[in-house]
Amino acid sequence: EKEGFEHFMLKEIYEQPKAVADTISPRIKNGKIVIDELEMTDEDIKKVSRIQMVACGSAYHVCVCAKYVLEKLAKIPVDVDLASEFRYRNPLMAKDTLVIVVSQSGETADSLAALRESKKKGYKVLGIVNVVGSSIAREADSVFYTWAGPEISVATTKAYSTQLAAVYLIGLLFGKVRGTIKDKEYREYIHELGRLPEKIQKILDEKERIQWLANKYSHTKDVFFIGRGLDYAISLEGSLKLKEISYIHSEAYAAGELKHGTISLIEEGVLVVGAATQPDLFEKEVSNLVEVRSRGACVLGLTSYGNYSIEDIADFTVYVPKTQDVFTTSLAVVPLQLLAYYISVAKGLDVDKPRNLAKSVTVE
Ligand code: F6R
């Protein structure tokens, strides 16, 4: 079943170009985004006053990205909550809030409870779900299926990528209907969406460099992932991937938060992965990297081709292809998945079944 790959995780990382294409292409018709399964008229979409995103783990990290993406494209305020927190805090939500629950398995206990809580309060719930017919898919008012196919590895990769694609499609549709995206931009975004699979493939084709870095850093004890904006969102996912399968202590921080405590942990030998793909925040991120480097950290830069000035400060740099700023997360996550994967392999760990973890968390 692994089709020649050593682990399901690597197979699933390699399936991402297809999974993302399968999620996007059925929703683009004659150059327009059409998502029939939302079951929302243009009037319904215009009426949405806020979006409340809820999920656990990596799906929660998709929600953190979604806040930046949806607020930019559709100009709708987005709140993001961990399902385990949301379900018990008696959340106050504005009238006409659309609740979006994101889940690969569709069976995560806390996410399902969050869905039920929202429905009980009378809110419409949209599920972004991978497993057809799962509990969340059945109980949500409408379901956007991510067509990632079965995901076996405990650490999610392709499902995460298709969830991001779902967010882009919803953001573009809402932005178009609500008039917050101009026609020309809309066409450019759709064109660029279609190119994401080949760009992900290009990163996979350059995997040797990540493999080399993984071998070099497999003995590291502490890793900090830092970024701003969408680069913060990607840092959260990179950190979780690393800790869950390589058992290396890692944390993700919004780069601007370092000074408020965490920078005291930076010392000789600590690895800092600095994501800097967002042009408007690039200089700010670089100045944070200067700060950690001057305290002895080894800096691994992650940015888009063209931003070569990062080499002035980074010990090593990984480049991803250029795309629309809002879509870069889909590309930047791939080297981070590969880094975690190859470190786990270098340490001889059980990549697909990390200790203490289950694929589907059906108890709270
Ligand atoms: C991390 C991972 C978990 C899941 C989380 C939610 O690699 O896989 O953090 O993202 O347990 O699971 P779903 O998406 O099935 O609700």
- For residues 252-268, average pLDDT: 92
Query: In the chain, what is the straight-line distance between the N-terminal and C-terminal CA atoms, in Å?
Result: 31
3-state SS, residue 223:
strand
Q: Give me the helix-helix angle, 16-24 and 183-205, nearest 10°.
A: 160
Is the pLDDT score of 360 beyond 90? Answer: no
C-alpha to C-alpha distance for 362 and 308, rounded to whole angstroms: 45
Is the pLDDT score of 355 beyond 90? Answer: no
Q: What is the 3-state secondary structure (H, E, C) of 294-345?
A: HCCCEEEEEEECCCHHHHHCCCEEEEECCCCHHHHHHHHHHHHHHHHHHHHH
CB 230 within 8 A of CB 257: no
- Of 216, 243, 353, 359, the active-site residue reads 359
* Structure confidence at residue 254 (pLDDT): 97
Is the pLDDT score of 361 beyond 90? Answer: no
Six-digit token pair at 244?
């869950």
CB 94 within 8 A of CB 122: no
Query: Cβ(156) to ligand 1 under 6 A?
Result: yes
Q: Give me the helix-helix angle, 183-205 and 207-217, nearest 10°.
A: 60
- In the residue annotation, 359 being an active-site residue is answered as yes
* Structure confidence at residue 209 (pLDDT): 95
Q: In this structure, which residue's CA is closest to atom 16 in ligand 1?
A: 103
Query: Cβ(57) to ligand 1 under 6 A?
Result: yes
Q: What is the 8 CA–ligand 1 centroid distance (Å)?
A: 16
3-state SS, residue 173:
helix
Q: In this structure, which residue's CA is closest to atom 7 in ligand 1?
A: 155
Q: What is the 163 CA–ligand 1 centroid distance (Å)?
A: 12
Q: Encode pLDDT of 166-189 as tens digits.
A: 999 999 999 999 999 999 999 999
Q: In this predicted model, which residue has the larger pLDDT, 338 or 353?
A: 338
* Structure confidence at residue 64 (pLDDT): 98
* Structure confidence at residue 168 (pLDDT): 98
Query: Cβ(59) to ligand 1 under 6 A?
Result: yes
C-alpha to C-alpha distance for 151 and 135, rounded to whole angstroms: 17
* Structure confidence at residue 127 (pLDDT): 98
Query: Cβ(155) to ligand 1 under 6 A?
Result: yes
* Structure confidence at residue 251 (pLDDT): 96
Q: Encode pLDDT of 63-115 as tens digits.
A: 999 999 999 999 999 999 999 999 999 999 999 999 999 999 999 999 999 99
Q: Which atom of ligand 1 is nearest to the CA of 360?
A: 15
* Structure confidence at residue 63 (pLDDT): 98
* pTM for this entry: 0.97
H/E element, 271:
strand 271-275
Is the pLDDT score of 362 beyond 90? Answer: no
Q: pLDDT grade, residue 261 (50/70/90)?
A: confident
Angle at 232 between CA 236 and CA 48, to 5 degrees: 95
Is the pLDDT score of 8 beyond 90? Answer: yes
- Mean pLDDT for all residues in the chain: 97
Query: Cβ(328) to ligand 1 under 6 A?
Result: no
Q: Encode pLDDT of 235-247 as tens digits.
A: 999 999 999 999 9
